[in-house]
Amino acid sequence: MTPFTERVIQIIQSIPSGKVMTYGQVAALAGNPRGARQVVRILHSMSSKYNLPWHRIINAKGEVAIKDTQGAFTQKDYLLSEGIALSDSGKVDLAVYRYHPTVDWLLEDL
């Protein structure tokens, strides 16, 4: 496993219930600001194995990015169950619900 992948997994596991992060935000914190698509692949291939809260990752517009209707419904349902409000158009207000890890956490293991 690459250091980037390990860091992505750690970051996603750290997101508390009721908060979200964007694919790009996770990628940047993991050391590759242009690695949002890599985050997608990691979520797709490792969510079950590492029990990742995949539903807490959304796109930069605050939208669920899953194209599959059932998957998108499931993600929205999980977000709502954690108290995350969705607008009528299905968007999450990132100003309210975006998770910002602490500086101390970011410096761990560096």
Domain ranges of the chain: 3-100
Q: Residues 52-71: what's their mean pLDDT?
A: 91
Nearest CA to 17 out of 84, 64, 72 is that of 84
* C-alpha radius of gyration, the chain, whole number: 13
Q: What is the pLDDT of residues 10-55, one digit of tens each?
A: 999 999 999 999 999 999 999 999 999 999 999 999 988 999 999 9
44's enclosing H/E stretch is helix 36-46
Q: What is the pLDDT of residues 76-101, one digit of tens each?
A: 999 999 999 999 988 999 999 999 98
When the candidates are 1.10.1200.10, 1.10.260.40, 3.40.1390.30, 1.10.10.10, the CATH number that belongs to 3-100 is: 1.10.10.10
C-alpha span between 85 and 76 (Å, rounded): 9
With bands split at pLDDT 50, 70 and 90, how would you rate the model's confidence at 106? low
C-alpha span between 46 and 34 (Å, rounded): 20
C-alpha span between 42 and 34 (Å, rounded): 14
